[in-house]
Structure formats: structure tokens, C-alpha cells
Chain A
Amino acid sequence: MAEFLQHLINGLAAGTIYALVALGYTMVYGVLKLINFAHGDVMMVGAYMGYATALQMGARMRSSLLGALLVFLVAMLGCALLGLLIERFAYRPLRNQPRLTALITAIGISFALSYSFQLDIGFLPGASPRGFPEIIKDEAWFEYGDVTILNRQVISLGVAVVLTLALQYLVYRTRFGRAMRAVSFDHRIAGLMGIPVDSVIAGTFALGSALAAGAGILYAVKDGVIQPLMGLYVGLKAFVAAVIGGIGNVPGAVVGAILLGLVEEFVVGYTASTWRDAVAFGFLIIVLLFRPEGLFGRVSAEKV
């Protein structure tokens, strides 16, 4: 029983981090119908920005609340800027091209980021993995027998829930959200109606990238290590999570991600780690077989 509970906690902790990354995928897809494969790598860059910021601080500052907030703030702002740049120079020129062109560009950006970060020139960190400083000191908030819940696991879960609610509010209750939904519906017509399409899309990218940076730092704190290829893998898993939940749907992304985190944890815990990816992707296939639009997605008729 204790073992089961511990697996449950581990799985939830992994799932909430997938969720934060999946939210970025789902938002960009919702607005642009673009699968932004570079999203995972933006997360990686965010983790490195957090790492660089934490190293600039003294040891005491680093483990203080203020220090931790500063690490998040710098990385999130930096990544928002990176998201804006990627959108402006890679995706915007292709907006009226076939969707496949933008998709391939996204894969290109993803590789450009993850492989250039393996160089050891200038500010680029090089390929060896780096230990991430403990900006959130591990503290057991709950201990019962063999089961431990750590402060950062609770924080991650809390952050994911709060952000989901906030995004839900943003999309359905604010002017910006209404503009987002209009652009998502048809960006040409939305433009004709006086909605500033470019800035809405740029805003979506900035927001998604900031979320990715936050997720990147939480991920780095959880596993204590960062390396340039971390984004490829986590990005892929978060994408799967977003598809399971119904891509374009905010609560769906979170539920999909947590389900995926739990499935992976239990598979590894009770069978063997070799099964993890097979089961994760098999789970995706089964969900898509029965609900091609994902768990929470809406069926939409596509004109061909």
C-alpha cells in the first residue's frame, strides 16, 4: 500500500510537469493550428536561463524564497522574449503557407536550439549534463510510514492547477481571450473585424513560452539535472499528453498529462522500465482509436 501511494505521488509530480508543458502546446495549437515542436526546447532554454540566474546569486539568496522567485521570473521573461522572436522570425513569414511548412520549420527550430546548446562556445553551455542548484530546498511536508510528499511536489501541483484555472479564465472571460478565440476560428476574418491578429498570436506565444520556462525549472528542480536534449523528450511526452486530452483544450491538456504521468510511473514501478514508452504511446493510440478528438476535444467538421 505504501509503495502504491508513493508511486501515485511520483506519478502526479511527473504528470504536473508534463501538464505545464502541454498547456503551451495546446494554446498555440488552439490559436494557430500549429504543433509547435520547438516548445520542448524552449522549456530547455528556460531551465538553462534559470540555472544561469541561480549561479549568479549567492548560496543564501539562492535558497531563499525571493531567490527562487527571481529565478522563475528571469527565465519566464527570457523565454517569453524567445517565444516572441521565434514567432516573429520563423512562423509569421509562413503564416499563409501550407501548414506543413510551418510544422517542418518548428522541427527545425527545435533541432537548432537543442543542438546549438550542445556547443561550448560563448554563452552556450556544452553537452555535458549540469547539476541544477537546489533553489527549492527539499522538505518533507507529509510523512506517513514509508510515504513522503515533498514541498516541491505540492508546489508543482498547485502551480499547475492555478495556471489551468487562470488560463481558462483568460480564454473565456477576458477581451484578449475573446480575441484569441476569434483568431482561432478564422484569423483572416478576425483581422477584418479589427482584431490585431499579429499581437494576439505573439501574445499567445509569449505566454506559452513563459509557461514552458516555469515547467523547465520545476523539472530541473525535480530531477536535479539539466542537459540540452532534455526538451526533445519531455516535449514529445507533453505533446502526447495534449493529444490525449484533446489538443486545443486547456483542462484536457492537464488531465491528459497527469494520466500520462501516472501510467508511466505505474508501468515502470510494477513491470519494467523498458515498457514505459511502449505503454505511453500505446495508451495514446487506444485513446485516439475510441476518441479521435481526445478525451475533452470537440468534434469539428473539416472542410476539404
Chain B
Amino acid sequence: MRRNSLALLAAIAAVLAVGCEKKKTTGEGEAKPAGNNTPVAQGTAPAPAEGDTILLGEVGSLTGAQATFGISTQRGIELALNEANAQGGVKGKKLAVRVYDDQSKPEEAGNATTRLITQDKVKIILGEVASSNSLAMAEKAQAAKVPMITPSSTNPAVTQKGDYIFRVCFIDPFQGAVAAKFSRENLKANNAALLTDNKSAYSIGLAEVFEPKFTELGGKVVDKQSYSQGDTDFRSQLTAIKKAKPDVIYVPGYYSDVGIIAKQARELGIKAPLIGGDGWDSPKLFELGGSAIEGNYFSNHYATDNPAKETQNFISEYKKAYNETPDALAALGYDAARVAVDAMKRSKDLSPEAIRDAIAQTKDFPGAAGTITLDANRNPSKPAVVLQIADGKYKYVTTVNP
């Protein structure tokens, strides 16, 4: 009841915001998006879908619980498109991106996608980070047959929505298996406990793979606990986990929860390391977790100390543009946009079918976060890295191949 009224209020506010925005920009002939406007989008000509501009759409969590995910991804995409435009664009046309904020909520992500398709008539949709949001988007994109590439949603169900949905990151089964393999072989853990966010498709997906894999490798899952995204007190679950005396605790959640979980785990005297997935990757993790986050491990898409040429070029360009070291989500946003640009260059025309076919044929594409070859299920196969948090930084530990 309360949730519904919240959603209703948000919807009304969104309608109002759109209405106001429209009024303000009527002179320019085009409604500006309610979310952040990238420099690329500001260069948008009055009729972006035709003429000399190709319009791409992006949905991201620019505000809300996972705001840093959306912002990093958006910067990566922006960087890729700026580079493509500097090299002459695609088929003689400039590229622009329209960005909508979904406030880290699946409902909003779905609505934003509909807007991109029906109102802005974009050629390709990029987004989201959180799998729950991408699932909502994929539904809409597939129904309208508009190609969609998610930079970093790792839940397998996303690309299973249909043949117009692609991704440039590895999928959950792999990430869960990496964590299980790493815990068992590198950390020599015998007993593991799971702490899952039962509101998130991502978290459940990773945990579901970790458990059988860890058992198959000879380990034992001694306790399973869950929480709901947005909780801030995890002591009851952690107290129960402490009793089970695990060697490692697998916490495949998002940084906003993990930071607090780490703090409360140490407060309760739990010394076992926490292991996580790419959802940990955010500078905010350090702010929320403080010293408690030190020494824990997570699997990720890339490491900044990877010597590959594409990775290092990307890092130096990104630093030049935004004055900070890019996280994995920025790298994947960059890769997703570049795969999109590459596909549009190769496709015979800019019809959705032709673009879709071109994306599907992506092979050995040198991305900043590893080489991308898309398989028949529209997923790439690429290795994962395991990082450890030490002295407020990520330290590369090992690479796990598929």
C-alpha cells in the first residue's frame, strides 16, 4: 500500500518534471531528458533520429542506491561516443546519446525504455547495470525489436529475453563459479556461508551458482542467510552466520549494503573474509565500509593494472576526461558503446534488424575489459579477475578463465 503510493507519487512527479522540461525547451523543438544531459546529448540537433545524427538511448541509475554505477557507465559511454565522433562518426553521421535516470528502480527503467523507443526513436539502447533493471528494460526493447546492449548486467535471464538483447560482460554462473573456485583453491576454505540480497536477481543468481560449485569442489555450505536491499541492520543474520563458523562468507550484494555488512561483521567479531562479485566495485565501498572492508575479495571484470593496450589506453583517456581512475563499470560502458558503434559501422543500413545482425556477429572485439566474442546466446565468453581490497585500493590477485 505504502509502496504503491510511493510509486504513484514518483510517477506523478516524473510526469510533472517532463511537462516542465518540455515547456522550458520548446524553443529548441525537442524535450530534454529529465536526467543528466551529457555534453554529447547537448549537441543534439532538433530532429535527432534523422538528418545527420544517430541517436542512441541510455538508461542508468544516476540517482538512488546504486548511483555510482550509473554515473561511471554513463561516463564510459560518453567517452566512447566522443572518440567515435572525433573519428568521423558512423556512415558520415555524428552520434549522440539520450540519457534517462531510473533512480535505481526497475519500474522507472522500464518506463524510461518505453520513452526512448516511442518518443526518442533511438537506434540502440544501452543499460543497465543492475540485472533487475535490465530485465525490465529488455522486456520493452525486445517487444519493440530495438537492439539493446547491457554493459554490465550479469544475470543470465537478461539476454534470454530475446534475440535483440546483448551484453558485453560475463554472466553470473561464471562469476559465482569463480568465487567458489577461488575460495576453495586459493583460500583453501572448507566451509562457506552465504548472505544473499533476496530482492535482487543479481545476488540470487550468483549465490545459486556458488553453492553447487563450492560443494562440487569438496567444500560445504554451512549457513544461508538473506536480507533485503536497503536494510541497514544485518546483525541478526551475521550472528547466525558466526555460530556456523564459516571459513569464508559469500556476500554477492551491492556496495551500498556490503560496506555496512563488513562493518557489522567485524563488530560482531567475525574474522572470516567476505567474498563478493562485481557489485562491490564502487569508491563508495570504502566510505561505507571503512577499515572493515580491508582484506576482503571480489571477482570483477577488469583490473586497472592489466597491461593490455586497450585497457591502458582507456584508462589514460578516461583520466584525462574525468580526472579519476575508471572502475569496471566505466570500462564496460565504454565497451558496450564501442561494440554498438562498431556494429553500426559494419551493418548494411541503420534498420533495427541490420544493426541486430551486426551486433550478433561481433568477434574478437578488443574491449577495455577483455576481448569480446558474442556466442549464439548473445553472451561473451571472457575471463574474470579476483581483486583484494588492501590499503583503500584494489589489488589484483588472480585471473580465472571460463
Contact = CB atoms under 8 A, between A and B. Distances in A.
Interface of A: 2-3, 6-7, 10-11, 14, 107, 111, 115, 118, 120, 126-131, 138, 146, 148, 150, 222-225, 227, 229-230, 232-233, 236, 264-266, 268-270, 272-274
B232 A223 contact: yes
B68 interface: yes
A224 B233 CA distance: 9
30 contacts: A3-B243, A6-B239, A6-B268, A10-B233, A10-B239, A11-B236, A14-B233, A111-B6, A127-B67, A128-B68, A129-B284, A130-B287, A131-B259, A131-B290, A146-B242, A146-B269, A222-B233, A224-B260, A224-B288, A225-B232, A233-B230, A264-B236, A265-B235, A265-B236, A268-B236, A269-B236, A269-B237, A269-B240, A270-B240, A273-B225
B362 interface: no
Contacts of B268: 6, 148
Given A10-B235, A127-B63, A274-B226, A150 B198 contact: no
Contacts of A225: 232, 259-260, 288
Given A10-B239, A138-B267, A224-B232, 14 more contacts: A6-B242, A118-B63, A118-B64, A146-B242, A222-B233, A224-B260, A224-B290, A225-B232, A266-B236, A268-B236, A269-B237, A270-B240, A273-B228, A274-B226
Nearest to B71: A128
A265 B236 CA distance: 6
B379 interface: no
A138 B240 CA distance: 21
Contacts of A269: 236-237, 239-240
Contacts of A232: 2
Contacts of A268: 236-237
The majority secondary structure among interface residues of chain B is helix
B187 interface: no
- The contact size tier of chain B is 35 or more
B236 A3 contact: no
Contacts of A7: 236, 239
A126 B63 contact: yes
Among B5, B9, B288, which residue has the most Cβ atoms of chain A within 10 A? B288
A128 B269 contact: no
Nearest to B256: A129
A274 B228 CA distance: 8
B263 interface: yes
